Amino acid sequence: VIELETRILAKNDALAARNRAWFAGREMLALNLVSSPGAGKTTLLERTIRDFAGELAISVLEGDQATDLDRDRIRAAGAPAIQLNTGTGCHLEADMVARGLEQLRPAFGSVLLIENVGNLVCPAMFDLGERAKIVVLSVTEGDDKPVKYPHMFAAAKLMLINKIDLLPHVDFGVERAIDHARRINPGIEAMYLSARSGEGLAAWYDWLRHEAKTTRSTLTG
Ligand SMILES: Nc1nc2c(ncn2[C@@H]2O[C@H](COP(=O)(O)OP(=O)(O)OP(=O)(O)O)[C@@H](O)[C@H]2O)c(=O)[nH]1
Ligand SMILES: [Mg+2]
């Protein structure tokens, strides 16, 4: 079993490297959004797409076991989107992303946001060729999640704590969650926001703008 797993991961890594080179050739920023089901990935994407209309060209690959529901939400928010259904699979793999890109045909210099299957475990192990993983943790899930699911928080560059509008109703310590995440990954960046109320979104938008800009300046020297 271990031998097979190692081979699957090695094959995926090779295909992810190909995606990464493809993004670099097109001066594209690609980000991989991961979280447990329902943390608010699609809601955050919808809002981000609407707020960046006319500023950044954003397109989306949507990963779900079943349905086109999230793809339709993203299209309604104004961005091109392709749905990838994994069936019994619990995560996206690099070859699915490559096939999705053939249909999506994202523009040169654009931003690709990949919403992974809702799952705090498996997507941590699969590189898709993205610049960074962004883990969304909502306040209804408990502030202990970073230490209980360490691989995901170790793999992420940024943690977005979502649904802070619900903080009065739950026992969630924002500082505690950040502490827990930094125990696993001392360098992880952290922000808290509400995709519903809009509170805290400005910091996320500045981060996204900065990443998009550095993608292009790194590549153009
Ligand atoms: N109160 C509150 N609800 C939110 C917020 N963000 C998302 N939600 C709600 O949380 C639920 C799940 O949101 P989605 O955006 O579908 O979550 P998701 O992570 O895309 O879910 P999957 O794709 O199934 O993994 C929906 O009912 C959203 O309206 C928020 O900031 N505050
Ligand atoms: Mg979703």
| Tens-digit pLDDT profile for residues 14-51 | 999 999 999 999 999 999 999 999 999 999 999 999 99
Centre of ligand 1 to C-alpha 32, Å, is: 17
Task: Tell me the C-alpha distance between 130 and 154, whole Å.
Answer: 15
**pLDDT tens column, 104-149:** 999 999 999 999 999 999 999 999 999 999 999 999 999 999 999 9
Q: Which helix (H) or strand (E) covers residue 191, if one does?
A: strand 189-192
Whose Cα sits closest to atom 6 in ligand 1?
40
**pLDDT tens column, 166-193:** 999 999 999 999 999 999 999 999 999 9
Centre of ligand 2 to C-alpha 126, Å, is: 18
Q: What is the pTM of this model?
A: 0.97
CA-closest candidate to residue 111, choices 180, 188, 213, 28: 28
Centre of ligand 2 to C-alpha 209, Å, is: 22
Residue 95 above 80 pLDDT? yes
DSSP secondary structure string, 67-113? -SHHHHHHHHHT--EEEEE-TT-SS--HHHHHHHHHHH-PPTT-EEE
Centre of ligand 1 to C-alpha 163, Å, is: 8
- What amino acid occupies position 101? L
User: Quick one: tokens of 3?
Assistant: 């031998």
Residues 6 or more apart in contact with residue 112 via CB below 8 angstroms: 23, 28, 29, 30, 31, 58, 59, 60, 61, 101, 104, 106
Whose Cα sits closest to atom 21 in ligand 1?
38
Specify whether the CB–CB gap between 152 and 181 falls below 8 A.
no
Number of other CB atoms surrounding residue 78 within 10 Å: 14
Nearest atom in ligand 1 to 195's CA: 31
Q: At CB < 8 A and 24+ separation, what contacts does 81-85 make?
A: none
Task: Tell me the C-alpha distance between 221 and 212, whole Å.
Answer: 14
- Confidence class of residue 1 from pLDDT cuts 50, 70 and 90? confident
Quick one: pLDDT at residue 2? 79
Ligand 1 pocket, residue 106 CB under 6 Å: no
Which residues are bridge partners to 84 per DSSP? 63
Task: Tell me the C-alpha distance between 132 and 211, whole Å.
Answer: 10
